Amino acid sequence: MSELHWTEADRRRVAELEARLGMELPDGAAALASLTHSSYVNEHPGEGRIDNERLEFLGDAVIDLAVSERLVARFPEDPEGVLTRMRAALVDEEGLSTVARTMQLGELLLLGRGEEQTGGRDKPSVLADALEAVICVVFQAAGLPGVHALVDRFFGPALDRVQEGLLRDAKTLVQEAVQSRFRSPPRYRVVSEQGPDHLKVFTVEVLAGGETLGRGEGHSKKEAEQAAAREALRRLTPGTA
């Protein structure tokens, strides 16, 4: 393979990636490769270009690990099934491409003419692959702490949305399961309120058929109801949670 001859545009591209990540990437060639689509390499033979496919392969495993660690720490009471669903929603093609758009990663990519003309800079598969490659480069430069910092910075809002969506889904599933089993809807009851107003903790029970199906806590009644619904869901339909 011929040696890569850097252009000023290449250097600016890597510098901009470093600025967006908020960190230096000592291996500039790897950083540039993370932004290089295979279509560009195919159209520029002899330039020593490397595409991002190998970096993407490792980055896929790294982001799975980093997101899994954050989910386990953030949701210590959730079973494997719920954590798996959360992770899947965060690191699937749609989730990764959304984060890539937040970083405006598309405008930094090196694409072949055909890929460029077919909207490659905003194509979910291209963006997701590029983000995985970038994550690999961050891992090589700063280890898992660097990847965790990236996850905390760019995946935080997605974590919140995924949690909220799954919790709403839990209440819906509980409603359906209780209605089927008891022929009446579940009832949520506030058991206690503790702490000052700005740090109040509510405890809520969900009841049906004369029994308590679940209990949960939260900093709002809604949050506590959702936590209670999740516990009830584990009892009513263990395979789904």
The predicted pLDDT at position 174 comes to 87
pTM of whole model > 0.75?
Answer: no
Question: Would you list the domain boundaries of the chain?
Answer: 8-154, 184-240
**184-240: same fold as 8-154?**
no
Q: 199-215: per-residue pLDDT in tens?
A: 789 999 999 988 999 99
- 60 catalytic, yes or no? yes
The predicted pLDDT at position 241 comes to 44
Provide the percentage of residues in the chain whose pLDDT is more than 90. Answer: 58
- 27 catalytic, yes or no? no
The predicted pLDDT at position 166 comes to 66
Per CATH, the number for 8-154 is 1.10.1520.10
Rounded to the nearest integer, the mean pLDDT of the chain is 89
User: Do the beta carbons of residue 182 and residue 104 sit within 8 Å?
Assistant: no
Residues 165, 202: Cα–Cα separation, whole Å: 21
SS (H, E, C) 109-172: CECCHHHHHCCHHHCHHHHHHHHHHHHHHHHHHHHHHHHHHHHHHHCHHHHHHHHHHHHHHHHH
Catalytic-role residue among 56, 132, 205, 231: 132
Residue among 195, 88, 103 at smallest CA distance from 154: 103
Instruction: Please name the residues in contact with 177: beta carbons below 8 A apart, sequence gap of 6 or more.
Output: 233, 236, 237
Taking the CB of residue 86, how many other CB atoms lie within 10 A of it?
Answer: 23
Given a cut of 80, is residue 11 above it in pLDDT?
yes
Q: How confident is the model at residue 175 (pLDDT cuts 50, 70, 90)?
A: confident
Angle at 65 between CA 60 and CA 69, to 5 degrees: 150
Residues 34, 37: Cα–Cα separation, whole Å: 8
Residues 193, 219: Cα–Cα separation, whole Å: 9
Residue among 108, 68, 72, 119 at smallest CA distance from 91: 68
Catalytic-role residue among 60, 78, 115, 205: 60
Kindly state the average pLDDT of the residues 31-49.
Answer: 92
- Out of 118-122, 154-158, 164-168, pick the least confident: 164-168
Given a cut of 80, is residue 77 above it in pLDDT?
no
Kindly state the average pLDDT of the residues 23-47.
Answer: 94
Architecture of domain 184-240: 2-Layer Sandwich (3.30)
